[in-house]
Amino acid sequence: MTAAPSLVVCSLEGWGDVRRRIRILVDELVGLEQTLRVLYVAPAIDVPYELRRGTLHPERGPKLEQVHPRIHVLRPRKWAPRLLGRYADRSLGRQVERTVTRLGLVDPLLWLNDAAYARFSMKAGWPTIYDVTDDWLLATLVPRQLKRLVTNDHLLVARSDAVVVCSPELARTRGRSRAVELIPNGVDVELFRTPQPRPADLPPGTVALYVGSLHQDRVDIQLLVDLAAARPALQIVLVGPDSLPAGLTAQLESLGSVHLLGARPYDQIPGYFQHADVVVIPHLVNPFTESLDPIKAYECVAAGRPTVATPVAGFRELGSPVTVAERADFVATTLATLDAAGASGAVTVAAAPVATWSDRAGSMNALMHRVRDAGASR
């Protein structure tokens, strides 16, 4: 008998209710491949770091958990800092190998989103797809982190069986020395166009909404401050994980009209879009954001709410309901959009077609089959 196909996914995204690209595609792929078994390797728990902070608690969850009849999630432990050499990465690789053996996965395909597993992929010898979703080489990192990431990224681009990117800019930078596969992001159109009740934590009044990670290389915090100052009665709601330095978070929290709600389950996100009066995308325009294919761009089109964005990758090419404004005009354009639309809260479904996650999973599934077939023929 032929063993069921198996997939090991080493992701920079955790497994939980906040579903992003990798998690969504895994769910879709399991639906497409009725015998596919998946080991999803979530970001490691940094034991020394959490011990120092006093945040290492049993409720962080089991090390290995079955979340679906054919999906297991591994939360490996990082027992030593990378300053001590490659022990930490070798330890993570051994934890993955032992779990693959324990689950009886045979000849798995390795899908790497976390470049820290670069040397593990070479050692394991499994067919490997390297999936680049953000160009962290352009982000703000300490020198030793950047050096390690550059080394791992170059190794994976050179030696993986396939390289996947999600944006044209990543296709340009990673495609200089080899062919790459462009598989952009998508959206669950039905979910975002099905009416939901107003979220209980959405403040009353007129709402400007931002959905996404708060990161200093991505979000123009000063634009949010300026928007709050220009119309004090406007409630500015930020939904998503906060990765900002403490000082920037404190600056936003000091503004009475800015509400940092934190991450919310994926299935609840359409309700925030649908009941916002305007969606704002105050992104910085820089080499890092140029590398992105923002999921929220697809969500804005699917939800159909009036949207104002800086001229950032993923939004520049969109028409209605998105208005693109230069940084100097962003606040005025947002206020004019609010005044024109009113505060009815009605959902305006965009007529424009938009790519779905099912479309993207089909592309990824076809690539996985090609990589497996090529590996089997060697």
* pLDDT tier at 353, thresholds 50, 70, 90: confident
Q: Calculate mean pLDDT across residues 175-179.
A: 93
User: How much is the average pLDDT of 316-341?
Assistant: 92
Q: Above 70 in pLDDT, residue 57?
A: no
The 10s digit of each residue's pLDDT in 282-298 is 999 999 899 989 999 99
Across the chain, mean pLDDT equals: 89
**Position 310 pLDDT exceeds 60:** yes
pLDDT at 271: 97
Walk me through the domains of the chain, giving residue ranges and CATH numbers. Answer: 6-186+357-377 (3.40.50.2000), 189-341 (3.40.50.2000)
The pLDDT, as a whole number, for residue 25 is: 96
Q: Which residue has the higher pLDDT, 24 or 352?
A: 24
pLDDT of residue 315: 93
Q: Is the pLDDT of residue 35 over 60?
A: yes
Mean pLDDT of 52-74: 77
Mean pLDDT of 184-199: 95
pLDDT band with cut points at 50, 70 and 90 for residue 374: confident
Higher-pLDDT residue of 54 and 165 is 165
Residue 345 has pLDDT above 70, yes or no: no
- Model confidence at 205, pLDDT cuts 50, 70, 90, reads very high
Give the pLDDT confidence score for residue 143 in this predicted structure.
Answer: 86
Average pLDDT over residues 249-262: 95
**What is the pLDDT, as a whole number, of residue 56?**
59
Per-residue H/E/C for the chain: CCCCCEEEEECCCCCCCCCCHHHHHHHHHHHHCCCCEEEEECCCEEHHHHHHHCCCCHHHCCCEEEEECCEEEECCEECCCHHHCCHHHHHHHHHHHHHHHHHCCCCCEEEECCHHHHHHHHHHCCCEEEEECCCHHHCCCCHHHHHHHHHHHHHHHHHCCEEEECCHHHHHHHCCCCCCEECCCCECHHHHHCCCCCCCCCCCCCEEEEECCECCCCECHHHHHHHHHHCCCCEEEEECCECCCHHHHHHHHCCCCEEEEECCCHHHHHHHHHCCCEEEECECCCHHHHCCCCHHHHHHHHHCCCEEECCCCCCCCCCCCEEECCHHHHHHHHHHHHHHHCCCCCCCCCCCCCCEHHHHHHHHHHHHHHHHHHHHHC
**Lowest mean pLDDT: which of 93-102, 268-277, 350-359?**
350-359
pTM for this prediction = 0.87
Tens digits of residue pLDDT in 224-254: 999 999 999 999 999 999 999 999 999 999 9
Whole-number pLDDT of residue 347: 46
pLDDT for 375 beyond 80: no
What pLDDT band is residue 349 in, cutting at 50, 70 and 90? very low
Question: Which of residues 46 and 208 earns the better pLDDT score?
Answer: 208
pLDDT on residue 313 = 92
Give the pLDDT band (50/70/90) at residue 59: very low
Position 188 pLDDT exceeds 80: yes
